[in-house]
Chains A and B, each alone.
Chain A
Amino acid sequence: MKLKWEDDGTFKSPLARARGLGAAHMGVTHWWHQRLTAVANIPLMLWLVWSVLQMQGWSYEIFTAWLAQPVNAILMILSLLSVFYHAALGSQVIAEDYIHHEGLKIFKLIGMRLFFIGAAVASIFSVLKIAFAG
């Protein structure tokens, strides 16, 4: 005999399942990652703002030499990862709040995910290219 909550082949109780995978199919993970990236964003954004201050009018040579330094390349990639993930999670909540048509909502959510993944890959690849290939 199979119990109701065993349908997915696991032995998770309904509560455990709801905790990990709530009504929005993401549960508390989404909320927690928004906080995790928020905390990471504080030092990273301060670094980014500080860097933007210096960058005004930098030539191509100065900018690429700056970005090729390991400290700057690493901090830039960390910033991109944390900020894009945070922004993707945040935009998802906004879409869920304001778009009430289910089909349109799913469409928007998928579109936004892909958009942020594309932006992250493009920018991280660019940093790596400058760091490794000049």
Chain B
Amino acid sequence: MSDAKKINPRPLSPHLQVYRPQLTSVMSILHRATGFSMAVGTMMIVWMLVAAASGVEAYDTFQWFVGTVIGKLMIFGWSAAAFYHLCNGVRHLFWDMGYLFKIENAYKAGYLVLAAAALLLALFWWLLCGGAA
């Protein structure tokens, strides 16, 4: 790559400073951002499991943290990221199978993903706050 660059500089990806955001580009980078945030966020699941395996005290510390404002915010972030990445991941899988390549369909599926993720997120928090009980 570094050698090729010297001989024949090839075009790079869009320069972000001069690139007008579009639904498709914003959703693309959001998939990356949510995926990476969740990758970091899996540490919470590791903490939960290792704490439970270590004993009551460690587990109670974890439960206490999850109940704090920061803990609640993290669960909110995790759930929002998970639902978005899940729905948009399905959109990605459709592309991989060769569908939704027409710009119009890519946009339609994009709006569908946003709606589905918002709906799932609302349902999750409604249930979490005891909505069904």
**Chain A contact residues, CB within 8 Å of chain B:** 35, 38-39, 41-42, 45-46, 49, 52-53, 56-58, 60, 63-64, 67, 76, 80, 83-84, 87-88, 90-91, 94, 102, 119, 122-123, 125-127, 129-130
Contact = CB atoms under 8 A, between A and B. Distances in A.
B53 A129 contact: yes
Contacts, number: 76
**A interface, by DSSP: helix, strand, loop or mixed?**
helix
Contact of A87 (B38, B63, B75, B128): B38
Contact of B82 (A49, A87, A102): A49
Contacts of A127: 49, 53
Contact of B96 (A35, A42, A45, A52): A35
B52 A67 contact: yes
A76 B2 CA distance: 43
B39 interface: yes
B89 A38 contact: yes
